[in-house]
Amino acid sequence: MLTLMKPLTSFTIEMLHFLGGIGYLTRDIFRELFKSRIYWRLLIEQIYQVGMRSAPLIVVTAVSVGMVMSLQFGLGLEKFGGKMYVPKLLAVTILREMGPMFTSLMLAARVGAGIASEIGSMVVTQQIDAIRALGTSPIRKIVLPRVLACLIALPILCAVTNIVANAGGLIIGAVELKLDPGFYLLKVLSTSNVSDYLSGFGKTFFFALFIAIPACYFGLNVKNGTKEVGIATTKAVVVSSILILVGDFFISKVFWMVEKLL
Amino acid sequence: MKHKEQQPEQPTEAPQSYIEVIDFHKSFGEKKVHDGVSFYVRKGECLGLIGGSGTGKSVLLRTLVGLEKPDQGKVMVDGIDIGPMNERQLIDIRKKVAYAFQGGALFDSMTVYENLAYPLREHFQLSEKEISDQILSQLEEFGLDSGTHRLFPGSLSGGMQKRVGLARAMMMHPEVVLYDEPTAGLDPYNTKKIQESILKLKAKGVTSILVTHDMPTVYAVCDKVALLQNGRISEQYTIDKLKQEPSGAMTEFINGESA
């Protein structure tokens, strides 16, 4: 019993540390956001890093996801003569779930890892201490531009995913399922509505925070040299991915309740 | 130069000591590193802080600029206890107290020019021409070629990185400079260059604390030297006294007879 209690206790303490640390960091981010000036040049640089440099990866992933889903839906529905429902199903699934989810997971892997390792390396080489020792704030200079860049870039990348994934679905719909491209496009546009789009789009703001804040937190908390930079990077990606996957259910539930009210 | 933020209120009567550490305690987990450290440094003085590896010299130095918090005791800078201050309150202290990091701690994504411009852009309202003039004169002051400003830190030698780090720390014209092993790992030429820079600053009246294992540098630039041992300042002498009457734990430490 005691052998079981020890790791459980240390896990609980680590979780409380993590939650407290994330809470403090989030407070500091919002405090700096409203109290201090924003480094526009750094923000634009980060938007480029997060958005533009992730775009090829996102496009490749999106088109693959769209094509695979179209193929699977087509194969499944063909047995029941429901091939014509593929455009509708695919569009709604991508707009509401798969678009924001896949974009966020890809960004967590690429950008979250990048942020955690970059900040971790800055801690190890005392650059974060230097920022503080020069009378400036690492939250304002390092964390805030990265968080804002994720908040700006992720919804845009998600919009790209939505378009590209549906295009991928259309290609397979036309080539493999022998659906007329005009019919496919018409079905996509007529059956998916603004609330489908907003439901997915709204999630991306939460997902952006789920990626950027843990990545910054783990990066800033690197303590014992370069070995811990790797550990921090892994933790950032794992925690962000879990937050995105678990958080998605709760956010979807809230959005669904709001939609019902409206 | 126009300061963006107001200076904190100064005590009406200047205290004799500019930096004073009183009964300083600090632990990391179970390990007690400092157990009642006390010392002071007068304005314009240079204190050499020596001691074995892991005795907490750098931690003490970091505490003097607010990078670490004391568990117990007071850390006074210009009559103000900086221990309880938060990051915002520490900004004014950090304008007065510069920290020269062991490896320079230069921002590797910025050129030397950008590194030196950083504190000026943050704290002063200066034109780009004024910033450029100050950077070029600072590089000259620290014996660095004017072409150095275009380079990234990664392409500089260790000695040059340390000198650029020192130059960056001096951009705000601080009253105190804290040197963390400024000559560690340097060749005799670069060591001499660093010593010259420290002496130049001392001549300008800058108060300094030098953490080092390099005794020739201590003899060359310091006014007094303190030995940190077993969590306390075990001995403290003026350099003249140490040279004239070498005895006790400090001499044993210098001669490598004790840790």
Domain membership flag for residue A65: yes
How large is the average pLDDT for residues B241-248?
77
Domain membership flag for residue A238: yes
What is the structure's pLDDT at B9?
Answer: 38
How large is the average pLDDT for residues A155-170?
95
Chain A, window 97-126: residues with a beta carbon less than 8 angstroms from a chain B beta carbon:
125-126
Q: How far apart are CA A109 and CA A79, in angstroms?
A: 37
Query: Who contacts B96 (Cβ-Cβ below 8 Å, separation ≥6)?
Result: B77, B78, B174, B175, B176
How large is the average pLDDT for residues A16-44?
90
pLDDT (tens digit per residue) in B192-203: 888 998 999 899
Q: How far is B247 from chain A (nearest CA, A)?
A: 37
Query: Percentage of residues in chain B with pLDDT exceeding 70?
Result: 93
Domains of chain B, with CATH numbers?
17-254 (3.40.50.300)
Residue-by-residue DSSP string for B90-117: HHHHHHHEEEE-TT----TTS-HHHHHH
Q: How far is A8 from chain B (nearest CA, A)?
A: 21
User: Based on the structure, what is the number of domains in chain A?
Assistant: 1
Which residues in chain B are closer than 8 Å to A126, comparing Cβ atoms?
Answer: 101-103, 105
Confidence of residue B15 (pLDDT cuts 50, 70, 90): very low
Q: How far is A17 from chain B (nearest CA, A)?
A: 15
Q: Is the Cα dihedral A20, A25, A28, A33 positive or negative? A: negative
Which residues in chain A are closer than 8 Å to B123, comparing Cβ atoms?
Answer: 135
- Under DSSP, the state recorded for A85 is G
Residues of B engaging A, defined by a Cβ cutoff of 8 Å: 62, 65-67, 87, 90-92, 94-95, 98-99, 101-103, 105-108, 118-119, 122-123, 168-169, 172
With tokens 């440099």, the residue in question is A53
Which residues in chain B are closer than 8 Å to A129, comparing Cβ atoms?
Answer: 62, 67, 99, 101, 105
CB hemisphere CA count around B147 (13 angstroms)? 2
- Beta strand B72-77 with B80-81 is antiparallel
Q: Do A125 and B108 touch (CB under 8 A)?
A: yes
- Backbone phi and psi for residue B110, each to the nearest 5 degrees, phi listed first: -115, 155
Measured in whole angstroms, how far is the alpha carbon of residue A65 from the centre of its chain?
16
Amino acid at B97: V
Domain membership flag for residue A231: yes
How large is the average pLDDT for residues B83-106?
91
What is the structure's pLDDT at B14?
Answer: 40
Average pLDDT value for chain B: 87
How large is the average pLDDT for residues B127-140?
92
What burial letters (b/e) apply to A119-153, b meaning 16+ CB within 10 Å?
A: bbbbbbbbbbbbbbbbbbbbbbbbbbbbbbbbbbb
User: Which residue in the set A127, A130, A135 is minimally distant from B91, CB to CB?
Assistant: A135
Beta carbon pairs, A and B, within 8 Å: 53
Average pLDDT value for chain A: 93
What is the structure's pLDDT at B3?
Answer: 47
Q: Do B101 and A126 touch (CB under 8 A)?
A: yes
Starting at the edge strand found earlier in the chain, the sheet holding B97-100 runs B97-100, B176-180, B207-211, B46-51, B224-229, B232-238
Is it the case that residue A202 has pLDDT exceeding 80? Answer: yes
What is the structure's pLDDT at A130?
Answer: 95
Q: Do B94 and A129 touch (CB under 8 A)?
A: no
- Three-state SS string over A48-79 comes to HHHHHCCHHHHHHHHHHHHHHHHHHHHHHHHC
Q: How far is B61 from chain A (nearest CA, A)?
A: 11
Q: Do B94 and A137 touch (CB under 8 A)?
A: no
What is the structure's pLDDT at B45?
Answer: 93
Q: Do A129 and B108 touch (CB under 8 A)?
A: no
Q: Are B103 and B94 in contact (CB under 8 A)?
A: no
Any chain B CB within 8 A of the CB of A137?
Answer: yes
Any chain B CB within 8 A of the CB of A36?
Answer: no
Domain membership flag for residue A21: no
What is the structure's pLDDT at A247?
Answer: 95
Q: How far is A77 from chain B (nearest CA, A)?
A: 54
How large is the average pLDDT for residues B84-108?
91
Any chain B CB within 8 A of the CB of A226?
Answer: no
Domain membership flag for residue A1: no
Domain membership flag for residue A206: yes
Q: How far apart are CA B111 and CA A169, in angstroms?
A: 47
User: Which residue in the set B62, B107, B172 is minimally distant from A127, CB to CB?
Assistant: B107
Domain membership flag for residue A14: no
- Beta strand B17-28 with B176-180 is unpaired
Q: How far apart are CA A127 and CA A121, in angstroms?
A: 8
Residue-by-residue DSSP string for A103-168: HHHHHIIIIIHHHHHHHHHHHHTTHHHHHHHTT--HIIIIIHHHHHHHHHHHHHHHHHHHHHHHHH
What is the structure's pLDDT at B246?
Answer: 67
Starting at the edge strand found earlier in the chain, the sheet holding B31-42 runs B31-42, B17-28, B72-77, B80-81
Query: Percentage of residues in chain A with pLDDT exceeding 90?
Result: 80
How large is the average pLDDT for residues B97-117?
93
Q: How far is A133 from chain B (nearest CA, A)?
A: 6
What burial letters (b/e) apply to A92-105, b meaning 16+ CB within 10 Å?
A: bbbbbebbbbbbbb
Is it the case that residue A101 has pLDDT exceeding 50? Answer: yes
User: Which residue in the set B102, B103, B118 is minimally distant from A134, CB to CB?
Assistant: B118
Any chain B CB within 8 A of the CB of A72?
Answer: no
Q: How far is B95 from chain A (nearest CA, A)?
A: 6
Q: Is the Cα dihedral B158, B162, B163, B164 positive or negative? A: positive
Q: How far is A119 from chain B (nearest CA, A)?
A: 12
Angle between helices B112-123 and B158-169 (to 10 degrees): 10
What is the structure's pLDDT at B256?
Answer: 76
H/E stretch holding B13 reads none
pLDDT (tens digit per residue) in A116-144: 999 999 999 999 999 999 999 999 999 99
What is the structure's pLDDT at B11?
Answer: 40
- Beta strand B207-211 with B46-51 is parallel
Domain membership flag for residue A29: no
Residue-by-residue DSSP string for A25-42: HHHHHHHHHHHS---HHH
Closest CA to B207 of B71, B129, B96, B60: B96
Best A126, A223, A226 residue to mutate vs chain B (most B CBs within 10 Å): A126
How large is the average pLDDT for residues B60-78?
94
Nearest residue on chain B to A126, alpha-carbon basis: B105
CA separation (Å) from B144 to B73, B112, B167, B185, B197?
41, 11, 10, 19, 11
Q: Which domain holds residue A181?
A: 37-261
ipTM here: 0.86
Q: Do A127 and B123 touch (CB under 8 A)?
A: no
What is the structure's pLDDT at A225?
Answer: 82
Q: Are A32 and A139 in contact (CB under 8 A)?
A: yes
Q: How far apart are CA B41 and CA B64, in angstroms?
A: 12
